[in-house]
Structure 1
Amino acid sequence: MASAAQASSVQELSASAFQKYLGGMDYPAGKQDLINHARKNNAPDAVIQVLEMFQDKSFQSAADVSQEFGRVK
């Protein structure tokens, strides 16, 4: 099983690996806030690709983000 650092594609990315790059995020947060935060945490391209598929809305919590992750993945 590939680790988060080795996740070269969106299909290989797990929810827990994905959330790792959003650690310390302040909510509510918009889609662009999530992308910016993930980039600051050196997220791989697969994480950014998933975030770019998110709806442009306000996420109230990490649980909201996980739910959207499940929807787009």
Structure 2
Amino acid sequence: MAETPNPIQIQKFLGGVDYPASRNALLSSAKDSGADENVIQALEAIPDREYDSPTSVSSAVSDSNS
């Protein structure tokens, strides 16, 4: 599996996201921002729910890869 991106790498591609945001909204924003495959895979691995802040996204990515 690819290396898990760190929270800063992920948030770089999520600028301008209006929270709360669904996983699909986060993926769409990341793709529109030119996110690389590692970031896309990390976001695809998080639970499909509403995220209320960048911190909750980072926590979900960390949890899904531990």
Distance in 1 between residues matched to 2:4 and 2:30, nearest whole Å: 17
What is the root-mean-square deviation in Å for CA atoms of aligned residues? Answer: 1.3
TM-score, with normalisation over the residues of structure 1?
0.81
TM-score, with normalisation over the residues of structure 2?
0.88
Distance in 1 between residues matched to 2:4 and 2:43, nearest whole Å: 15
- Give the number of equivalent residue pairs: 65
Per-residue CA shift, 1:13-63, capped at 9, x if unaligned? 221111111111110000000000000100001111011101010001111
- Which residue of structure 1 lines up, in the alignment, with residue 16 of structure 2? 24
- Matching of residues 1-73 of structure 1 within 5 Å: 10-11=2-3, 13-73=5-65
Any unmatched runs of 5+ in structure 1? 1-8
Asked which structure has the greater CA Rg, the reply is: 1
Bigger share in helix? 1
Report deviation, 1:11: 1.6
Distance in 1 between residues matched to 2:16 and 2:47, nearest whole Å: 21
